[in-house]
Amino acid sequence: MRWDKYAGLDVIPLWVADTDFRAPECVIEALQRRVEHGVFGYTMPPRELRDLIVARMQRLYGWTVDQPWIVFLPGVVSALYMAANRLTRPDEHILSPHPVYYHLFRAAQSAPRAWTDVPLVLRGGRWVWDEVRLASAVRPASKLLLLCNPQNPGGTVSTRAELERLAAFALGHDLIVCSDEIHCDLLLDPGKPHVPIASLSPEVSRRTVTLMSPSKSFNIAGAGVAFAIIEDAALREAFSFDLKKSVHDASLFGYEAAVAAYRDGEGWLSAQLGYLRGNRDLVEALVEKLPGVSMAHLEATFLAWIDCSGLGLPDPQAQFLAHGLALSPGADFGAPQFVRLNFGTQRALLREALLRLEAAVGAAAR
């Protein structure tokens, strides 16, 4: 999708959030073996995948998950729409961070439910929740708190203390939490670990839907697999009600890819993170020295969130496109003066893209 949109044009496409890296060899081999089998019928989630997820949650987060808590899905986006629709009544209200990956607020919009965008603010160089605004946004009808952690866009990895405050807020207002943690493996700063909000305490876990997927971590978004972890049986039932009617099963190739990735792909993932870290540093170093643009230090994801308000342009994305660089418009996420640059690509191409970025900024400043 990312490349096809600009096929035939002299445009470097660094927009939608997948990368230009081949999946781990273990994933490619597993898929090849599955293709060799030659029969591609309806498929159940493999028991091994449940085991691997349970073991991974324990190993990475000290979070004890039981197998039945896991609900498989073809993608995280469908889960966001299901959460907004199934976990709230029509007269209830949703709280969403802002700016954010657009399917969070679109899920509220399409349910349709009343919702409030709660601004994230730049504090100490990190995009964090404005907790005062959050407290003033909550209503008696509020039912669901949407989280995106690590944050897209913005790249913040919420600290345990920040999550504890959000969890206390959710408990205090009797809110269900739906936490999109699809970027949880893409951690760029050693020493800033991901904490699933549900892992904080059994009390929080019982009111939380956690959404995860190997799709970003191992670049298999096209394979079609994700999962929700929902401890509370009633919440799980509400979320999964009519599941078959709404979404297809996860793909059989997604299951195969996920098993291989979680079983044998950790070495690849850590090398990938090292490479992405190098790319992140290049982007940050350039943005730092250019006038009119700025970005907060990115703790996670491969998506640089660049503030172009100093350029005074009505449509910053158009300026970059005119210089052969396709970025995601910040307007999609609710911040028109920003652009989002996907640096999940080979370094030589990124260097070329950064030259174009520099030229576009230079031309805007003139």
Ligand X SMILES: Cc1ncc(COP(=O)(O)O)c(C=O)c1O
When asked if residue 265 is in the footprint of ligand X (CB under 6 A), the reply is no
When asked if residue 180 is in the footprint of ligand X (CB under 6 A), the reply is yes
State how far the alpha carbon of 84 is from the alpha carbons of 159, 195, 255, in Å: 25, 23, 26
When asked if residue 184 is in the footprint of ligand X (CB under 6 A), the reply is no
The region of 90-98, 198-206, 213-221, 277-285 touching ligand X under the rule CB under 6 A is 213-221
CB 224 → ligand X: shortest distance, Å? 8
> For 37-76, b where at least 16 C-beta lie within 10 A, e where not — what string?
eeeeeeeebeeebbebbbebbeebbebebeeebbbbbbbb
The nearer residue to ligand X, 173 or 192, going by C-beta atoms, is: 192
**Residue of 215, 299, 300 whose CA lies nearest to 257:** 215
**Residue of 165, 119, 116 whose CA lies nearest to 144:** 116
When asked if residue 83 is in the footprint of ligand X (CB under 6 A), the reply is no
Residue nearest to ligand X (CB): 75
Task: Write out the H or E segment, with its range, that includes residue 58.
Answer: helix 47-61
Task: In whole angstroms, give the CA distance from residue 157 to residue 160.
Answer: 9
Site for ligand X in 107-146 (CB under 6 A): none
When asked if residue 17 is in the footprint of ligand X (CB under 6 A), the reply is yes
The nearer residue to ligand X, 215 or 319, going by C-beta atoms, is: 215
**Residue of 183, 168, 97, 158 whose CA lies nearest to 133:** 97
Give SS3 for 86. Answer: helix
> How many residues bind to ligand X according to rule CB under 6 A?
13
Q: Which two tokens stand for residue 118?
A: 């709660």
The nearer residue to ligand X, 76 or 304, going by C-beta atoms, is: 76
One of 24, 75, 254, 330 touching ligand X (CB under 6 A): 75
One of 12, 77, 157, 260 touching ligand X (CB under 6 A): 77
When asked if residue 215 is in the footprint of ligand X (CB under 6 A), the reply is yes
CB 88 → ligand X: shortest distance, Å? 19
When asked if residue 298 is in the footprint of ligand X (CB under 6 A), the reply is no
User: Which residues here bind ligand X, judged by CB under 6 A?
Assistant: 17, 75-77, 101, 148, 152, 180, 182, 213, 215, 221, 226
